[in-house]
Amino acid sequence: MRLLLAAVLAAASTLCALGASQTPIVIETDNTALVYTVGNDGRLYQQYLGKRLLDPADYDAAPRGPEAYITAGMEDYYTPALAIKHADGNPSTLLTFKGMKVTEPQPGQRTTVITLTDEKYGDTVDLVFDAFSATDVIKAHSVITNGEKKPLALREYSSAMLHFDRPDYYLTQYNGNWASEARQSEPQRLAFGKKVLDTKLGARAAMFLSPFFTLGLDTPAAETSGDVLVGTLGWTGNFSTTFEVDHQGRLRLVSGINPEASTLKLAAGEKFQTPEFIFTFSDKGTGQASRNLHRWARDYQLHNGNQERMTILNNWEATGCDFDEQKLISILADAKDLGVDLFLLDDGWFGNKYPRSDDHQGLGDWDVTHSKLPNGIGRLTQAADSIGVKFGIWIEPEMVNPRSELYEKHPNWVIQLPNREPYYFRNQMVLDLSNPKVQDFVFSVVDDLMTQNPEIASMKWDCNSPITNIYSQYEGDQDRLYVDYTRGLYNVLERVRQKYPDLDMMMCSGGGGRCDYEGLKYFDHFWASDNTDPEERIYIQWGMSQVFPPKTLCSHVTSWDHQASMKFRTDVALMGKLGFDLKVSDMTDSDKAYARAAVKAHRELAPAISDGDFFRLYSPYDGDHAAWQMLSRDGSLGVVEAFDLHPRYGQRRPILRLQGLDPAARYELQEILRADTSEGPAKTYSGDYLMTVGLPLFTGSELSSRVYRLRRK
């Protein structure tokens, strides 16, 4: 039925050519508008970007902004959206409007394609905008076609260019390193010149910088007020977003694949499709922007976005690579004991000539280590099945240790420089995914495991190294490598998803070194960080929540930070995709009881935690506390979590005001998951009271936490 409707709507699409005098091109969601207009010179200009106006005729009155997709080599002297070097050496491009087309590929999504052309050279650029009405999200990408008789060189090929003309701009970025992902910067005021957020790391692209940002317009971004734009590039490779303020104080944002070391040759007639730049505008602060992205992701982008996620016990922190069949079977029993859905066997189960006893060898040899697991994976899936726990497994199929049979057999499958000593990152190298044979191999890692063990319910797909020694032994043109690597990865993931649409898959990259929305078309969730110290995790989850919904954030309770109680560690993990990664045999009875109760509560509260709206109530960056709230989409069930970090003696404590409630409704608030798993007394308040007056939910105790359930009466 849905398909039929989409087909009917697609057939009703409009294709038209506009002249300068015609109405502007309006790309709208329920609350946002991005408007273009064609000038008398035939070029396309951005007319408006911001809150949707009641009467579309008013867009005509808005002052016309700069050219929409500025090309290099003409009158503009700042960062271009597009730079082409034509076969005759001409480095300039002049684009004029040719036509547009609007379709509705599915209910709630309207796609506008604006076609521009360079009349002299025949090249075309399609600017494609997918507007999602209910969630106020717009995705933008471009398709560049070489209309010349000879090859051209694409030197810049951005996904989107957006313009702003405001008194001030404040940029917040999210950067860090292994174990300190997505640290939120102070909002930085952008002055004349350029600020570039980019990466050149290739595979583990987001190790130092997450591919998203918050832009406060007029004022620094705030949680519940003000105009903000939150954006991110869907590309699991080198990305670049440039913010440039010109001499008139206007800001342009240019986002796309990082073109550095990646000039692309396009043959005559060849097309290049850029990745999607995804953004949402909110005039109610970043909280609303995040909720827009979360809802959109679950409804339209995330793999199996509206399906339940499994709770998990992982063995990495408990055993490293040091385990055997017996040990794993007893950990399976622990998983059952905690009540989680899945046990996931991490690194260390493969390699025979070079058994994977640590990270120095064996990577690439995906046969089970006989000395550790004489009865294969099958024995483990049987054991899991017999006790009623699902089974998952870790792989890192894009990488190889030089000490491996794979490297011995196929040294030319590895990205490595001629005439140079290799540089190893975590003792490993990267396979050359631009090579279709390597793509087949990487696919076979998943396919062989699944064919031999169809009971496998989940995979953790790791990627621990950036691309090092950057040189392909397959590609003739080295400039294509970074781009073709990522496209090769998508080819493999596409095949995996064609064949295994229901396999649960975690994206992992030495912690959160991969976190982007194109990856999440294939993966159900991602490992936000190896750092599971609960205090640090509050910051990391806070940062990631700007763009990604809680159900994508794998949050595991571990033994990092012994000072924090089991309750505190678990409460932090409760907001995401809950899991455990510790020695269950070392846990006290009361800690186990708490873990079991949390798993149960997480399941019962899933409409709020996994599929609801997320409200950041109190930022850990603001002081010694943190708090967040989750509310089911129908508003009937909520969860509030309040954390005290290091409050000082006698310090005044902030009052927590809840958000998103119906002021006229009454809500029952009850503390749940107290340290002994008991529930506190229930109290009833109006939504108005909870949002206006608020509650004193913080305490003066070091590393303490409370969880409350909210029920609309």
Nearest to 260 by CA among 211, 201, 207: 201
| Least gap, CB of 530 to ligand GLA (angstroms) | 5
Residue with smaller CB distance to ligand GLA, 346 or 641? 346
Q: Choose between 258 and 532: whose C-beta lies nearer to ligand GLA.
A: 532
DSSP-based three-state secondary structure for 654: coil
| In contact, 339 and 390? CB cutoff 8 Å | no
Closest CB to ligand GLA among 509 and 659? 509
Which residue type, as a one-letter code, is found at position 653?
R
Residue with Cβ nearer ligand GLA (316 or 523): 316
Does residue 157 contact residue 257 with C-beta atoms inside 8 Å? yes
Contact 187, 180 (CB under 8 A): no
Question: Within 359-378, which residues bind ligand GLA (CB under 6 A)?
Answer: 359
Q: Which is nearer to ligand GLA, 346 or 432 (CB)?
A: 346
Of the pair 59, 316, the CB lying nearest ligand GLA is at 316
Closest contact distance (angstroms) between CB of 202 and ligand GLA is 17
Interface with ligand GLA: number of residues (CB under 6 A): 12
Longest dimension (CA), the chain: 79
Interface positions, 286-345, toward ligand GLA (CB under 6 A): 316
Instruction: Rule CB under 6 A: say whether 508 interacts with ligand GLA.
Output: yes
Cα 28–chain centre separation: 24
With CB under 6 A as the contact rule, which of the stretches 116-124, 219-227, 303-311, 505-513 interacts with ligand GLA? 505-513
Contacts of residue 378, defined as CB under 8 A and 6 or more positions apart, other chains included, come to 452, 453
Tokens of 646: 């290091």
| Cβ-proximal residues to 542 (8 Å cutoff; 6+ apart), any chain | 184, 616, 619, 620, 621, 626
Closest CB to ligand GLA among residues 255, 401: 401
The least distance separating ligand GLA from the CB of residue 321, rounded to whole angstroms, comes to 8
| Cα 64 to Cα 48: distance, rounded to the nearest angstrom | 8
Give residue for tokens 């240019």.
254
Tokens of 573: 């993990």
Cα atoms in the 13 Å half-sphere on the side-chain side of 275: 29
Between 327 and 600, whose beta carbon lies closer to ligand GLA? Answer: 327
DSSP classification of residue 546: T
Closest distance of CB 538 from ligand GLA, Å: 19
Selected binder of ligand GLA within 156, 462, 533, 671 (CB under 6 A): 462
Give the binding range for ligand GLA (CB under 6 A) out of 220-228, 247-255, 326-334, 506-514.
506-514
Which span (9-17, 128-136, 503-511, 592-600) binds ligand GLA, by CB under 6 A? 503-511
Report the nearest approach of ligand GLA to the CB of residue 367 (Å).
18
Q: Which residues contact 164 (CB under 8 A, 6 or more apart)?
A: 49, 215, 217, 229, 250, 251, 252, 253
Shorter beta-carbon distance to ligand GLA: residue 510 or 543: 510
Q: How far apart are CA 352 and CA 367, in angstroms?
A: 7
- Looking only at residues 386 through 425 of this chain, which bind ligand GLA when binding is defined by CB under 6 A? 394
Residue type, 161: M
Judged by CB under 6 A, the residue of 164, 212, 213, 527 near ligand GLA is: 527
Of 507-515, 557-565, 676-684, 685-693: span binding ligand GLA (CB under 6 A): 507-515
Which has the closest alpha carbon to 661: 619, 631, 639? Answer: 631
* 510 near ligand GLA, judged by CB under 6 A: yes
The minimum distance between CB 380 and ligand GLA, in angstroms, equals 17
The 343-362 site mask, x for binding ligand GLA (CB under 6 A), equals ---xx-----------x---
**What is the dihedral angle through the alpha carbons of 63, 69, 74, 76, rounded to the nearest 10 degrees?**
50
Give the Cβ contact number of residue 442 at 10 Å. Answer: 24
- Nearest to ligand GLA by Cβ — which residue? 347
Residue 527 CB, shortest distance to ligand GLA, in Å, is: 6
Rg (CA), the chain: 26
Residue 538 tokens read as: 């509050």
From 508-516, 582-590, 639-647, 693-701, span contacting ligand GLA (CB under 6 A): 508-516
| 464 is a site residue for ligand GLA (CB under 6 A) | yes
Least distance to ligand GLA, CB of residue 421, Å? 25
By beta-carbon proximity to ligand GLA, the closer residue of 488 and 513 is 513
**Which residue's CB is nearer to ligand GLA, number 276 or number 396?**
396
As measured in angstroms, the least distance from the Cβ of 529 to ligand GLA is: 8
Using CB atoms within 10 Å of the CB of residue 577, give its burial: 0 to 12 exposed, 13 to 18 middle, 19+ buried: buried
Please state the closest distance from residue 14 (CB atom) to ligand GLA, in A: 48
Q: How many CA atoms lie within 13 A of 365 on its CB side?
A: 26
Subset of 24-83 contacting ligand GLA (CB under 6 A): none
Specify the amino acid at residue 353: K
**Which parts of 122-226 are beta strand (E)?**
124-132, 137-145, 152-157, 160-164, 169-175, 183-184, 188-189, 193-198, 209-217
Q: How far apart are CA 485 and CA 414, in angstroms?
A: 12
Shortest separation between residue 60's beta carbon and ligand GLA, angstroms? 53
C-alpha dist (Å) from residue 379 to 319, 325, 367, 387? 19, 8, 15, 13
Which region, judged by CB under 6 A, interacts with ligand GLA, from 141-149, 276-284, 504-512, 666-674? Answer: 504-512
Q: Report the C-alpha gap between 412 and 414 in whole angstroms.
A: 5
Which CB atom, from 46 or from 529, has the smaller least distance to ligand GLA? 529
533 is a contact residue toward ligand GLA (CB under 6 A):
no
Nearer to ligand GLA, 508 or 617 (CB): 508
Structure tokens at 194: 């350029």
**162 vs 459 by CB, closer to ligand GLA:** 459
Give the shortest CB-143-to-ligand GLA separation in angstroms.
35
Q: Which residues bind ligand GLA (CB under 6 A)?
A: 316, 346-347, 359, 394, 462, 464, 508, 510-511, 527, 530
